[in-house]
Amino acid sequence: MKKLIYSLTLIFMLGISANTVSAAGLKDKDKVEMTAEQQAQFNRITNRVEQIRAMDKSDLSRAEKKELRKELKELKNQARAMNGGVYLSVGAIIIIILLLILIL
């Protein structure tokens, strides 16, 4: 009996999610265009990233490499913020899935 209830619940949830996914593709997404200032900032970020990638990092100290990694992470976050959108980390997705499992 328990397996039957779990199976029906799974089929029901999959049926709902399939409808949601197909409906999500139908709506028109408004593309947000960047202003000239944002475009210039984005170009500065990409140029800096290219400079860092072109560097010879073999002669840098451990602290300098760590600072470069920090700078790259900050630049990546700034670029994501400019483009807009909602990003979920892997950890957040796992927590959501675990909560859904516990609720069901």
CB 78 within 8 A of CB 45: yes
Q: What is the pLDDT along the chain (104 residues), one digit of tens a residue?
A: 888 888 878 777 766 665 544 444 445 455 567 788 888 888 999 999 999 889 888 898 999 999 999 999 998 888 877 776 666 677 888 888 888 888 87
Planar angle of CA 72, 78, 80, nearest 5 degrees: 105
- If one counts every other C-beta atom within 10 angstroms of the C-beta of residue 32, the result is 11
CA dist list (Å): 104 to 5, 18, 20, 72, 99: 11, 19, 20, 41, 9
